[in-house]
């Protein structure tokens, strides 16, 4: 009888351990999804200026980030500090690859300020491991072009 009780107890302990394990697994899965590759939309700013903008007040920091100019971002001291994204009132620094992509894009774009971009990448703490940077206005522009083309073919 004593032995039976022991076996029973062992089973209870084992099954409760299984449940606990399953719980941590689901937690891990959820975290994985959060940290997976995704797109964040915000303003591309150099670290020197951007760090000050990420003050937690989304409205204020977004307004400041939208006013920040490309010329400022490309100024030597600003460019050297690296780049990042102001998103929802927070500053997110890019990794080295992201810095390069940002510098390349800034060199090519005609935009002067309001540098709103879609950044695809994964979060590394508050920082972003960047996979791609595209202007957020690109989609709208494509739509406009599509419409004008449509009109032309109709008339």
Closer CB to Cu ion, 2 or 112, in the complex: 112
CA angle 29, 121, 56 (to 5 degrees): 90
Whole-number minimum distance, CB 71 to Cu ion, in Å? 8
Q: How far is CA 10 from the centre of its chain?
A: 47
CA distance 85 to 13: 49
Q: Does 49 bind Cu ion (CB under 5 A)?
A: yes
Choice from 42, 46, 54, 65 touching Cu ion (CB under 5 A) = 46
- Candidates 24-32, 48-56, 92-100, 125-133: pick the segment binding Cu ion (CB under 5 A): 48-56
Stated as kind and residue range, the H or E segment containing 127 is strand 127-135
CA distance 46 to 73: 5
Site for Cu ion in 61-120 (CB under 5 A): 72, 78
Which spans of this chain sit near Cu ion (rule: CB under 5 A)?
A: 46, 49, 72, 78
């Amino acid at each position: 009888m004593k032995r039976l009780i022991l076996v029973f107890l062992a089973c209870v302990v084992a099954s409760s351990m299984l449940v606990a394990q399953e719980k941590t697994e689901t937690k891990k899965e959820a975290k994985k999804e959060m940290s997976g590759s995704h797109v964040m939309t915000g303003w591309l700013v150099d670290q020197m200026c951007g760090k000050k903008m990420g003050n937690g007040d989304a409205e204020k920091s977004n307004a400041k980030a939208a006013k920040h100019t490309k010329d400022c971002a490309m100024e030597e001291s600003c460019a050297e500090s690296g780049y990042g994204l102001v998103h929802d009132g927070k500053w997110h620094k890019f990794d080295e690859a992201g810095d390069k992509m940002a510098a390349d894009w800034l060199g090519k774009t005609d935009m002067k300020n309001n540098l709103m971009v879609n950044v695809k990448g994964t979060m590394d703490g508050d920082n972003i491991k960047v996979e791609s940077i595209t202007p957020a206005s690109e989609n709208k522009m494509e739509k406009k072009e599509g419409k004008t083309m449509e009109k032309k073919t109709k008339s």
